[in-house]
Amino acid sequence: MMADQLLAPKKTSRISESELSQPCCTALQVALVDLLRKYGIKPEAVVGHSSGEIAAAYASDAITLKEAIIIAYYRGKVLLEIDPSKGGMAAVGLSADQVQPYLRPGVLVGCENSPSSVTLTGDKAVLEEVIQNIKRDDSAVLARALQVDKAYHSRKPSSPFHSFLG
C-alpha cells in the first residue's frame, strides 16, 4: 500500500493524509536507519522532531521496528479522529524573526528548522495569504504550502497534540 501511494499520481495519491503519511514516513525513516546499520553506521546520539521522534527512538534501540510502525499507525489514526479541521503548513526560507511581520491570527511558527528556515502552521486560508505576502515582498524567498492535511504543531486547541507534542 505504501508503494502504491508513493507512486500514485498526485490527483489520486492519499499520501498526504495523516492516516497514511505517518506510517509511510516512519517506514522510510526506519529503512534508512537499517540501511545505515547494514554499512556499520550507528549513531551515538539521535534527535527527532514530530514523527521523526519515532525513528529516533528506533535508531537508539529504544523501540523495535514493529513498535515503531504500530506507534506511527496509531498516531495517524488519532490525528484522523481528533482533528477534523483542514489546517495546513508551509515551508518558508526565513528566520523566525524575519517571518514575524507576516504572521496573522491563525498562523504561527510551528518549527524553527534552521537559522534561515521555518515551518508555519495554522488555518489554511490565512496561511495562503501569508505565503502570498512573503512572495510579493521577495519572490526569491522559498514560501510554499506543504502537502499535509493537518496544522501540525499549531497551538490552537483544535490542533492534534497541541498540548503535549507541540
Cα-based distances in Å from 26 to 13, 53, 166? 18, 9, 19
Distance CA 151, CA 157 (A): 11
pTM, 2 dp: 0.74
Domains 2-82 and 88-145 agree in fold: no
Q: What is the pLDDT along the chain (166 residues), one digit of tens a residue?
A: 667 877 888 888 888 777 888 899 999 999 999 999 999 999 999 998 888 999 999 999 999 999 999 999 998 888 777 665 668 899 999 999 999 999 999 999 999 999 999 999 999 999 999 999 999 999 999 999 998 877 877 765 444 444 334 4
Residues 6+ apart with CB under 8 A from 4: none
Class of the CATH-defined domain 88-145: alpha beta
Going from N- to C-terminal start, the domains of the chain cover: 2-82, 88-145
* Distance (Å, whole) CA 83 – CA 76: 11
Q: Which CATH superfamily is domain 2-82 in?
A: Malonyl-Coenzyme A Acyl Carrier Protein, domain 2 (3.40.366.10)
Q: How big is the CA angle at 23 (ends 145 and 122), to the nearest 5 degrees? A: 30
Q: In 3D, which of 43, 96, 51, 104 has the Cα closest to residue 73?
A: 51
Predicted local distance difference test score (pLDDT) of residue 142: 97
